[in-house]
């Protein structure tokens, strides 16, 4: 298994330590690298943390849009992409993904129910499923809902694209170690 994860953010985060503690090598990919047509990396998975569309926290959104085609190819060729909540109310926060996603920003605890079985439901393992901190919901999308709030709005979405997968979650907690070990260690690395 290959354990190389790209953490897309403006500067290093503590999140990278958790990823490394789970057995994956973690590299921070900043917006300049991401938006550059000349930069290339090889990863098994990429992670976009919470708040990526909020200009108070990050300048990542324009770079994600600039890298839209590379992101799609990365996933189509077997890469895994995990995207968290945008962290602000923007209708276009997910327009760089290869399928439609509508996000409603509203921070607070939500009861979680699983809509179908998936190994990625381990994202919520160990959390109190009656009150998981989330920064919003996904009222409409082009993927499959794995977990939803008691209102029925999606909290975890899965979309298979080519040989890879995209997961989108509004959980406002670190993913569990169990999840990160599974998600970050891929069969192969894919050129990004």
- For residue range 36-53, what is the model confidence (pLDDT) as tens digits? 888 999 999 999 999 999
Give the angle subtended at the CA of 179 by the CAs of 75 and 129, to the nearest 5°.
120
DSSP 8-state code for residue 64? H
* Nearest Cα to Cα of residue 166 among 81, 50, 78: 81
Instruction: Tell me the percentage of the chain whose pLDDT exceeds 90.
Output: 86
pLDDT category of residue 3 using cuts at 50, 70 and 90: confident
Task: State mean pLDDT over 187-192.
Answer: 81
pLDDT of residue 192: 85
Q: Which residue(s) pair with 101 in the sheet?
A: 141
Burial status of residue 39 (CB atoms within 10 A of its CB: 0-12, 13-18, 19 or more)? middle
pTM of the model: 0.95
Give residue for tokens 């891929």.
186
Q: What are the extents of the domains in the chain?
A: 4-191
**Residue 35 C-alpha from the chain's centroid:** 18
Which tops the pLDDT comparison, 185 or 101?
101
Res 1 pLDDT > 60: no
Res 110 pLDDT > 90: yes
The CATH fold assigned to 4-191 is Rossmann fold (3.40.50)
* C-alpha separations of 152 from 18, 114, 131, 138 in Å: 31, 10, 15, 10
Res 150 pLDDT > 80: yes
* Nearest Cα to Cα of residue 1 among 178, 183, 191, 187: 187
At residue 92, the 3 state secondary structure works out as coil
Res 2 pLDDT > 70: no
pLDDT category of residue 185 using cuts at 50, 70 and 90: confident
Residue by residue, DSSP assigns 120-145 as: GGGGGTTS-TTSEEEEEEEEEESSEE
Sign (positive or negative) of CA dihedral 145, 22, 93, 79: negative
């Amino acid at each position: 298994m290959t354990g190389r994860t790209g953490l897309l953010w403006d500067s290093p985060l503590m999140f990278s330590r958790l990823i490394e503690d789970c057995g994956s090598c973690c590299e921070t990919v900043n917006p300049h690298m991401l938006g550059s047509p000349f930069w290339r990396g090889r990863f098994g998975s990429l992670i976009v943390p919470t708040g990526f569309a909020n200009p108070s926290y990050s300048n990542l959104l324009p770079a994600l849009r600039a890298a839209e085609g590379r992101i799609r190819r990365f996933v189509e060729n077997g890469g895994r992409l995990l995207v968290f909540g945008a962290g602000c109310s923007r209708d276009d926060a997910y327009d760089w993904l290869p399928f439609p996603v509508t996000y409603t920003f509203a921070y607070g605890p939500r009861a979680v129910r699983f809509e179908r079985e998936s190994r990625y439901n381990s994202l919520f393992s160990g959390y109190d499923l009656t009150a998981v901190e989330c920064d919003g919901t996904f009222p409409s999308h082009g993927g499959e809902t794995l977990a939803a709030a008691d209102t029925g709005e999606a909290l975890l979405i899965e979309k298979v694209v080519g040989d890879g997968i995209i997961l989108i979650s509004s959980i406002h907690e670190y993913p569990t170690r169990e999840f990160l070990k599974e998600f970050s260690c891929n069969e192969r690395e894919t050129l990004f």
